[in-house]
């Protein structure tokens, strides 16, 4: 274990991006998210993930945000275990009828101000499952959505870009929680 830990101290980090000429997008993004998050929330934005019927594909890519390459926490964004600790609900899936009530309750348990990010094509409008008897069809038909991040599933980089878009929108005075205007849509 000592060897592995020591190596971790001496090796250059994997975290994207080491400023390379061909892959600067994430570097810019990193700087932007960092600045916006600090302005708005003083380096803290807590996210509660809710699977409302996804196939688990979106969860895998949301998980990837925590790995050494994307390292979400360096921006002050982190996942929390309870909606009561959360500023943002990140919701996946077409919202099954069996999860509708649980999603509502999770939303109600999240203190204001709060924002909802709907992740994936299913969360947008039910996607490929929209016609089913068991599906409500889209997160916005159950709770107000501030941002859609499309994709099946969206790549981790798209998720990062989406969170940036939310932060910028909020910094520009966009209303939080129960927004009456149309949700911002981020198309990757």
Partner 1 sequence: MAALADIIAQARRVDGHRPVPRAVVTPGAWRAVAGELAAGHATLLGLWGDTGAVHMAVMGEAGRDINVVSIECPGGNFPSVGALHPPAIRLERTIQSLYGLEPIGAADTRPWLDLGFWDVQHPLSAHPQQPGEQSAYAFLPVQGEGLHRIPVGPVHAGIIEPGHFRFTANGETVVRLEQRLGYVHKGIESLMAGATIEKAAQLAGRTSGDSTVAYALAFAHAVEAALNIAVPPRAQYLRALMAELERLANHFGDIGAICNDASFTLMHAHCGILRERILRAADACFGHRLMMDRIVPGGVARDIATDGGMRVQGALSEIRWRLPRLIELYDNTASLQDRTVKTGVVSAELVRQFGAGGYVGRASGRAFDARKAHAYAPYDRLEFEVPILTAGDVNARVWVRIREVEQSLALVDQILARLPDGAIVVPVTAPAGMSEGLGLAEGFRGDVLAWLRLDGLRVVRCHLRDPSWFQWPLLEAAIENNIVADFPLCNKSFNCSYSGHDL
User: Which residues sit at the interface with partner 1, rule CB under 8 A?
Assistant: 1, 3-5, 14, 49-64, 66-69, 79, 81-83, 93-94, 96-102, 106, 128-129, 131-135, 152-153, 155
Sheet with 88-92, edge to edge strand ranges = 77-79, 45-51, 88-92, 115-119, 147-149, 184-186
| CB 7, min distance to partner 1, A | 9
Helix (H) or strand (E) holding 116, with range, is: strand 115-119
Give the pairing of strands 45-51 and 184-186: unpaired
Give min distance, CB of 16 to partner 1, in A.
10
Rank residues 140 and 169 by Cβ distance to partner 1 and give the closer one.
140
Query: Closest distance between partner 1 and the C-beta of residue 140, in Å?
Result: 18
* Ramachandran class of 148: left when φ > 0, alpha when ψ lies in -120 to 50, beta otherwise: beta
Q: To the nearest whole angstrom, how small is the minimum distance from the Cβ of residue 35 to partner 1?
A: 26
For residue 166, the Cα-to-chain-centroid distance in whole angstroms is 9
Distances in Å between the Cα of 181 and the Cα atoms of 21, 103, 107, 144, 163 are 39, 21, 18, 10, 19
Complex with partner 1: residue 39 or 63, whichever CB lies closer: 63
Q: Which is nearer to partner 1, 36 or 50 (CB)?
A: 50
Nearer to partner 1, 126 or 169 (CB): 126
Which is nearer to partner 1, 52 or 117 (by Cβ)? 52
Closest approach, Cβ 68 to partner 1, in A, equals: 5
């Amino acid at each position: 274990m000592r060897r592995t830990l020591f190596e971790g101290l001496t090796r250059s980090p994997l975290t994207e991006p080491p400023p390379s000429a061909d892959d600067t997008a994430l570097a810019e993004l990193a700087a932007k998210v960092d600045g916006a998050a600090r302005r708005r929330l003083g380096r803290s934005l807590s996210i509660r993930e809710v699977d409302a019927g996804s196939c688990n594909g979106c969860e895998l890519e949301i998980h990837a945000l925590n790995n050494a390459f994307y390292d979400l926490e360096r921006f002050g964004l982190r996942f929390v275990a309870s909606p009561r600790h959360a500023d943002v609900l990140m919701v996946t899936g077409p919202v099954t009828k069996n999860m509708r009530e649980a999603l509502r309750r999770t939303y109600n348990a999240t203190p204001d101000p709060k924002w909802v990010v709907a992740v994936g094509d299913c969360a947008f409008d039910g996607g490929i499952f929209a016609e089913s008897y068991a599906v409500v069809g889209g997160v916005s038909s159950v709770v107000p959505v501030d941002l859609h991040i499309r994709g099946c599933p969206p790549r981790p980089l798209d998720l990062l870009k989406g969170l940036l878009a939310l932060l910028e929108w909020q910094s520009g005075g966009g209303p939080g929680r129960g927004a009456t205007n149309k949700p911002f849509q981020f198309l990757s």
